[in-house]
Amino acid sequence: MSDQMKIMVIQGPNINMLGKRETGIYGHMTMEGIHEQMKSVADQAGVEIEFFQSNFEGEIVDKIQECLGEFDGIIINPAAYTHTSIAIRDAISAVKLPVIEVHISNIHQREEFRQKSLIAPVAAGQIVGFGPVGYHLAMMGMLQIFEQIKVVRARAEQNA
C-alpha cells in the first residue's frame, strides 16, 4: 500500500435519492453534492477517496470486503440496513478497518425501529443528526484516525 491513505465512502439504500426524498428529514443536498464536498476535503488533506452507493445489501457486503488491503478506512451510511443487516456488521468486523457510521438524521429521535444500530458496536464512531455536515465530521474523524495510525507505524519502525 502507498503512503497515501485511502477512504471508501459507502452509501446504502435510497441515499441516491437525497435532495428528492423526504427533504424535511434529509434536506435538499444531493448525494453527489455531499461527495463533491468530501472529495474537496480529501484533496486538501492528501487523502484518496472513492464512493460507492447501492440499494442491495449483498453489493454493500462485497464492497466492504473489497476494501481489505485496498483502503485504510470506511465511512458508511448503511441507511435502512443499519437496523437490520447482520451481514454488513459481520463484513465490517471481518475487514478490521476503522469505520465511521454516518446518518443525516438523528436516528435516536426517530421511530423506535430506527433507534438501534447493528453497525455502531463494530464502528470506530457514529455521527448522527447533523445533516450532510455529518459527512464532513466523519472525514475529520477519519483523518484523526489516520494520524494516529501514522504515529503507531512510525513508532513500530523506530523499534524495529
Please enumerate, by residue number, every residue annotated as part of a binding site for substrate. 77, 83, 90, 104-105, 114
Choose, from 28, 35, 81, 103, the residue flagged as catalytic: 103
User: Closest Cα partner for 123 from 151, 153, 82, 152?
Assistant: 82
User: Closest Cα partner for 92 from 116, 126, 115?
Assistant: 126
Question: What cell was used for 85?
Answer: 443487516
Helical spans, DSSP H, in the chain: 23-26, 31-45, 57-66, 86-95, 133-159
Sheet-wide strand order for 6-11: 48-53, 6-11, 73-77, 99-103, 125-128
Asked if 35 is an active-site residue, the reply is no
* Alpha carbon distance 129, 25 (integer Å): 10
Asked if 103 is an active-site residue, the reply is yes
Q: Are 81 and 92 in contact (CB under 8 A)?
A: no
Binding residues: 77, 83, 90, 104-105, 114
- Residue 160, number of CB atoms within 10 A of its CB: 5
Report the catalytic residues.
26, 103
